[in-house]
Structure 1
Amino acid sequence: MANFVTPVNALMHWQKQHPQRVYLRQPIDGVYHEKTWAMVAREAGQIAQGIRSLGLEPGDKVAILAKNSAEWFIADLAIMMAGCISIPIYSTASADTVSFILKHSESKLLFVGKLDEWNKQAAGVPVGLKTVAMPYPTMPCHIQWSDWLAKQAVIDKHHLWHEQDTMTIIYTSGSTGDPKGAEISFAAYRYACEQLIEVLQAGSEDRVMSYLPLAHITERVYIQGTSIFSGQFSVSFVESLDTFADNLRSVQPTLFVSVPRLWARFQQGVFEKLPPKKLKLLLAIPLVSGLIKAKIKKALGLNKARILGCGSAPIAPSLLRWYQSIGLNISEAWGMTENLAYGTLNLPFRSDKIGTIGKAGPGVEIKISEQGEILAKGQGMMSGYYKHPELNEQTIVDGWLHTGDKGSIDADGYVKIIGRLKESFKTAKGKYVAPVPIEQKLAENSMVEQVCVVGSALAQPCALVVLAGEMKQHSQAQIEASLGRTLDKVNQHLESHAKLSHILVVKQDWNVDNALLTPTLKIRRNQIEQHYSELIHQQFTSKVAFEAGSW
């Protein structure tokens, strides 16, 4: 593999090696518009010249607020060419978060692209900050992307970066407090990407789809980084949420990474057409089983996938085993912004290690501290938190990243996450309860889409549950019976102080918009507890209770 210092070095290499090979595929009005390596290099060079024409200097920060698109990749490359540092912002970020990140990073320019509710986010853009609109419907901007492509020449000289220079600042979506900006160097980024290229054995026959937020380190490394450093495969994008399923079936990716919530929704989509009992019966018939599996995989668009991944949040082992039953092996992986999402992987896939997050990737060291915390070390680490040097000393000690996750390592080196160090709560009995393992057990019931175990200052903890949308076809009595059986099963294996008093079905879906989920779909535990505080402290006599209006 060529030794590229930056993604721009890789881009310029590949545009010389195979200029006409398609790199990016952007769907517009149902039609894929393809951009070759040469086209991407030229457009990035023109946008870079546009940035430079505004008087920005090396080291200035340039933000991107947009859904994934070919232009997102190109803007990121252009920012590097111009000598600036990219500041990605989640496309779902609130106006307050947009304002915080733009001010904290001292961004001098903002690229804006596809957004669902730009009218709400526009208030977060400081008055006077120059904005550039990507070629999609979006908020009013000072400059149009198309104007720069029409008027700007290709930048004549790219900025010369050193490998320890900061490439980007990734603001974590943390479940509490203001986001923290992790500074990522070119060296760390390249290292993580190149290690993954080897682990995934990425090649010219591969296809990927970029749809998870590019403001998150996983998509930035697993998809954007591996594609540009390998120079081997194309990246396709999604036109909209409504076209996602069609886009997935059209692309038929060979490498596909998702999050637990989407894997659960895929399962529910299968159950809508084939109820669980009927599917299980068909899969037990040898001559029919193979046909059913092939049909399901094709309908999902995953019939060509050779590697499937899952990360970002805990996933129920039962869900992974269900996918295995239809011939789809999903490998869990784990990482953080602070170690560039490159930590552990269950690759090659091992069925007997379902329930773990895999073992340390090549070049990564993992150990458990005396306090039970997972510690990680490797070359792919952040340089530090932007403007928060005091946090660096707490987070990386003697080269070891203190992850905040509690875990264990088995004899084969496979890691299991037990929960977060700071998530355990104390009940009124003075005993501590770790909620994550209990939540994982509850989530094995396919009726449960989201779950949060709470119990601070309660005599016994309880579980808040959001049902999968498809559950409306069942009666309340059926749901109550199913959840009741799950509650009994889970409680059998818990110590007396951790046994759940009841399950409470709530009516509101937890999402990014109501701030009960992070942009990466992790639950915001503190916000959920505050939101349902009054409900949590009500007295319920039944094992399964329903919030008024939830049914």
Structure 2
Amino acid sequence: MTQLLTPVDALLHWTQEHPERVYLRQPIAGEFQERTWAMVADETARIAAGLQAQGLERGDKVAILAKNSAEWFIIDLAITMAGCVSVPIYSTANADTVRYILEHSESKLIVVGKLDNPDAQAKGIPEGIARMAMPYPTIESEHQWSDWLKQYEPLAEPAQWQEQDIMTLIYTSGSTGEPKGAEVSFGAYRAGSLGWMEVFQPTKEDRAISYLPLAHITERVLLQGVSLYNGGVVVSFVESLDTFADNLQSVQPTMFLSVPRLWARFQQAVFEKLPPKKLHFLLKVPVIGGLIRKKIRTNLGLHHARLLGCGSAPVAPALLEWYRDKLGLNIAQAWGMTENMAYGTVNLPYRADKYDTIGKASPGVELKISDEGELLMRSEAMMTGYYKHPELNDEFFSDGWMHTGDKGSIDADGYVKIIGRVKESFKTTKGKYVAPVPIEQKLAENSMVEQVCVCGQALTQPIALVVLADELHHHSQEQIVNSLTRTVKEVNSQIESHARIAHVLVVDQQWSIENGLLTPTLKIRRPQIEKHYDALIHQQHSQLVDFERDDNWGR
């Protein structure tokens, strides 16, 4: 595939090789509508012709604001085919973020699709930017997808590109400050996609489901890029959040990548039907244990999965251990960033003894630890730089090495552990630094804990803010206090005295993208969380486990 530079080159190649093979499956009203490679190529060429008909010139930016769908793949390909640069925006972005990205990127047109809050987000689209709507209820637009398919003949001559040309601007999720646009070249995108192909070894029998945001580099490379350059993986989509479980069960993917929060929710769903102690007992019973294990995997939609992955945010090793030991599901951790095409490390081929690492360097990736303990990397799959921010590039790149911002360690076998972010460590009034991530991972081993943030700047001892899993509302306050108390005492016995947790504060509100406490990739936003709970953090607490409001737990 090295001769195929762009995703459009790959699309046209596979359309020649097997035009009638199914590529994309979009559920509509509960039924999957299938598109073959030939159908995808035809639709792409017609939409590309529509883009050119709007007077867009080579290099103009076209934004995409939509949830994942077959049309998302197609518009992304059409933008490249038409000679433009795509600018994806998270479907959950608020109006201010939408406006910032559109203005910063100087986008000339925005394509809108499935959205949860179209009316609110529409306020972020400046006047003068044309709108085109995918065939779903969405933001009011002057151009319609279905009209373009009828109105325009397929574009005869796709735009030609060089390796160094910019294919897309991927705006980082902005855990600190405004989002930054990473310039992704065609060469870097192809390198990341081919690298993951070498790791995954996909075949024509593989099935994947696209639900992680395509505006993020992970889904864009690991699923979209791999499926395009490989030409064999069939990609299905999710109709809505309500149908996610049914869609997943229907597809029964062979390749499934997710984030820690969703793996934890899957576990909670299992516990809702079979409490941990009962499940543990039944799984040990010969024959019955095997049947239960198979039924759980099937109900999750993962019985045929040959490849399972977890990334995007720190995960509690105990959660991965539970899946491996109880369900026989080996979840490989992986690590990457927007700036390196999400292509860095992975625990594949899977090694059970390295389950608590993020794996080792992927093919073609070099890693090292700086004198300051920062993980540095380099490969062909790296961004060109930050759009309109050349001053940041000198900080980010040094002698060809990329500064990841992650503190890490590399063992004798080359496997990597992330200790935390370089800038996340805080100093207590005792004058000693505390790295919060390892402590958070230990606390999250309690299945009651869905979200956790350890903080302690200017405090005598660190404290932990905790959001409990939704499924716990039938538990009494006493049960919750006893469980969290045991966990805190166990964690404190394993860490140095200055880092021990003084209090766990159970907060009422779920942290979400919508309330600004999570990034679109579900990482916690520490500065925002600490600011939001500043008064609570600095209150006097006499109990080891305390609640933001006790009256929420009178059950």
Query: What TM-score does the superposition give when structure 1 sets the normalisation length?
Result: 0.99
**Structure 1 runs of 4+ with >4 Å offset:** none
User: Aligned ranges for residues 452-491 of structure 1 at < 5 Å?
Assistant: 452-491=453-492
Query: Could you tell me which residue of structure 1 aligns to residue 261 of structure 2?
Result: 261
- Structure 1, unaligned runs of 5 or more: none
Give matches, 1:513-532, under 5 Å. 513-532=514-533
Q: Give 1:287 deviation, angstroms.
A: 1.9
Residues 1:373 and 2:379 are matched in the alignment: no
| Partner Cα separation in structure 2 for residue 2 and residue 215 of structure 1 | 25
Q: Which range moves more in the overlay, 26-35 or 540-549?
A: 540-549
Q: Deviations over 1:260-318 (max 9, x none)?
A: 00000000000011110000001111222211110000000000000000000011010
- Secondary structure at the aligned position of 1:33 is classed as strand
Q: Look up the SS of the partner of 1:291 in the other structure.
A: helix
1:364 is matched with which residue?
365
Instruction: Tell me, yes or no, if structure 1 residue 252 matches structure 2 residue 252.
Output: yes
> Can you list the C-alpha shifts for 1:332-381, whole angstroms capped at 9, x where unaligned?
00000111000000001111112110000010011100000000110100
Matched, 1:30 2:30: yes
Give the direction of change, closer, same or farther, for the CA distance of 1:382–1:2 in structure 2 (3 Å limit): closer
* 1:504-525, Cα deviation, whole Å (9 max, x unpaired): 0000000000000000000000
Read off the aligned partner of 2:402 and give its amino acid letter.
L
Residues 192-341 of structure 1 mapped to structure 2, 5 A cutoff: 192-325=192-325, 326-341=327-342
Which residue is 2:448 aligned to? 447
* 1:495 Cα deviation after fit: 1.6
1:131/1:143 contact within 8 Å kept: yes
Aligned counterpart, 1:415? 416
Q: Deviations over 1:151-206 (max 9, x none)?
A: 11111211111111000010000311000000000011001101111110101000
Rounded Cα–Cα distance in structure 2 between residues aligned with 1:347 and 1:460 = 39
C-alpha deviation, 1:550, in angstroms: 4.0
Equivalent-residue separation in structure 2 for 1:167 and 1:286 (angstroms): 55
Structure 1 match to 2:174: 174
19-28 or 491-500, which moves further after superposition? Answer: 491-500
Q: Check whether the contact 1:506–1:550 (CA below 8 A) recurs between aligned residues.
A: no
Equivalence for 1:512: 513
Q: Secondary structure at the match of 1:538?
A: coil
Matches of residues 12-161 of structure 1 in structure 2 within 5 Å?
Answer: 12-161=12-161
Over residues 16-61 of structure 1, what are the superposed CA-to-partner deviations in whole Å (9 max), with x where a residue is unaligned?
A: 1111101100000001000110010011100001000010000000
- For 1:466 and 1:505, the matched residues in 2 are separated by 6
Whole-Å separation in 2 of the counterparts to 1:352 and 1:471: 32
Determine if the alignment matches structure 1 residue 394 to structure 2 residue 395. yes
**In 2, Cα distance between equivalents of 1:462 and 1:94:** 31
Q: Secondary structure of 1:64's match?
A: strand
Q: Residues 550 and 391 from structure 1, CA distance in 2 versus in 1: closer, same or farther, beyond 3 angstroms? A: farther
Aligned positions of 1:421-432 closer than 5 A = 421-432=422-433
Once the two structures are TM-superposed, the CA of residue 493 in structure 1 deviates from its matched residue by 1.7
CA contact (8 A) 1:435 1:454 kept: yes
In structure 1, the residue matched to 2:499 is 498
Cα displacement string for residues 84-121 of structure 1 (whole angstroms, at most 9, x for unaligned residues): 00000000001000000000000001000000011111
Aligned equivalents of 1:550, 1:296: Cα separation in 2: 32
Give the SS at the match of 2:57.
Answer: coil
Cα pair 1:424 1:434 within 8 Å, conserved = yes
Counterpart of 1:205 in 2: which secondary structure? coil
Letter in 1 for 2:171: Y
Letter in 2 for 1:322: W
Identity %: 67
What CA distance in whole angstroms lies between the structure 2 residues aligned with 1:427 and 1:114?
A: 45
Structure 2 residue identity aligned to 1:460? Q
AA in 2 matched with 1:155: L
TM-score by length of 2: 0.99
The residue identity in structure 2 corresponding to 1:425 is F
Letter in 1 for 2:88: P
Structure 2: segments with no counterpart, 5+ residues: none
C-alpha distance in 2 between matches for 1:241 and 1:350: 33
